[in-house]
Structure 1
């Protein structure tokens, strides 16, 4: 899904003359190392976390990613928070709580039946 806008953005940048690439090799090297650390590190840490806490809990915790980006955007980048964003965050939290509660109830039923 991310790959669709990339060619369009590249075409716009090339046609308007706004594409600026670094010329120094050290900048390319730092960019490559930074991107590899972030992408590979994120995957490895997520996989390790999933192994430690289980797939179900990792999936539930992953639902908080949009809320985390909302909070970081507000605190670090001083972005405006609209009612629509707050409502969306409330829906994500509510859905996560509902999933967790139903999972706990289902687990209790299984324990009682055995």
Structure 2
């Protein structure tokens, strides 16, 4: 995985907020009726609404997070649903901890 992209993804407060919200989708997106947010993911439109930003801005943030490997996107009909990739996030955090403690 490209660490530069991952660092860039984590360097934005809005992208961190998206990852936090997606970490507890049943809490933050329980009103999603089209699919179970925990099992299927969260509709991009609801993510934009949660951040109070325009859909194109949300889509750009989500594209960066996806490129970093921190979310998976699943399309269903005309909507796209996002779900955190817990393994990828954990691997990144472990890498970061090793880098910070290496004393380079």
Fold match by TM threshold 0.5: no
Larger Rg belongs to: 1
TM-score bracket relative to the smaller structure:
0.3 to 0.5
More strand per residue: 1 or 2?
2
Q: Please, what TM-score do these two structures have when normalized by structure 2?
A: 0.33
- The higher relative CO (CA closer than 8 Å, separation ≥ 6) is in 2
More helix per residue: 1 or 2?
1
